[in-house]
Amino acid sequence: MGKIIAVANQKGGVGKTTTAVNLAATLGILEKKTLLIDADPQANASSALGIDIQQQQQGTYQLLEHSVAAAACVQETTIPHLSIIPSHIDLVAAEIELVDKPKREFMLNTALQTIVDDFEYIIIDCAPSLGLITLNALTAAAAVIIPIQCEYFALEGLGKLLNTIKSVQKIHNPDLDIEGLLLTMYDSRLRLSNQVLDEVNKHFGKMVFKTVINRNIRLSEAPSFGEDILTYDATSKGAKDYLALGNEIIKRNKG
């Protein structure tokens, strides 16, 4: 059975989509059959992998609405062993349309049951909010990765997200785990980056990934070419960091 991992943080600009896309691509390159689900109406994860989001007829919106079978929403990517369920701006409407539905928090979980065994990893890129779509992702997931940028307001909002995860565990998904806190945009030359790194490790200990994602210009450039970092520049620091993260996650999930 595939492991479903949501990548979530209600703060924008923390490297959430960068992490979802590059982790999914890395797992694929490491020969793990992987599915990336773009659960953000901005559809940045889809365009980062070269998907023309205007042309999409079937994606996360139809998946949540149960109007199309999950298997029909899955598309191949150019990356070995990596498929995607793309997003579209229509996904904004799902927040409103799901409100009156029974078991509205379980729509994604139910839809994925038919394909969860087809993959080793399913990575969900969540929107930068704690709305109904993100709640669906957390209800469907076995674990959550929380990216935290090494900047001044790094821990702001983290308490709120951890409380949301606790309430999801209590009400909707008792099996939800925290896969780990991932420090992003780290710059070893900055005292602030090092302070955030120390602070997060001091407070959260083993919950923090050993891998740290360094600030890297190639990581910022890759999406504009519709490529993941390993395809765009396999020798870059960003590629090495995400390769290390992929290996760390595989190691954690062995056995």
> Hey, which of 69-73, 87-91, 97-101 has the most confident mean pLDDT?
69-73
| 19, 246 contact by CB (below 8 A) | no
* Tokens 């109007």, residue located: 67
pLDDT average, residue stretch 156-174: 90
Q: CA 230 to CA 226: how far, in whole Å?
A: 12
The band of 255, judged by pLDDT with boundaries at 50, 70 and 90, is low
- Does residue 49 have a pLDDT over 80? yes
Tokens describing residue 155: 């821990």
Q: What is the pLDDT of residue 53?
A: 84
Non-local CB neighbours of 182 within 8 Å, separated by 6+ positions: 15, 19, 145, 146, 147, 148, 208, 209, 211, 213, 245
Which pTM was predicted?
0.95
Question: Does residue 1 surpass a pLDDT of 80?
Answer: no
Query: pLDDT tier at 122 (50, 70, 90 boundaries)?
Result: very high
Confidence at 93, pLDDT banded by 50, 70, 90: confident
Higher pLDDT, 32 or 161: 32
Mean pLDDT of 23-29: 97
**For the chain, how many structural domains are there in total?**
1
Residue 54 pLDDT exceeds 70? yes
Q: Which residues contact 249 (CB under 8 A, 6 or more apart)?
A: 5, 23, 27, 121, 179
Domain, as residue range, for 224: 3-252
Q: Which two tokens stand for residue 248?
A: 């760390």
- Angle, helices 237-252 vs 16-29, to 10°: value is 70
Instruction: Give the pLDDT score at 89.
Output: 78
pLDDT recorded at residue 112:
97
Q: What is the mean pLDDT of the chain?
A: 93
User: What burial class does residue 237 get, using C-beta atoms within 10 Å of its C-beta: 0-12 exposed, 13-18 middle, 19+ buried?
Assistant: middle
Q: Which of 22, 13, 5 is nearest to 244 (CA)?
A: 22
Residue 220: CATH number of its domain = 3.40.50.300
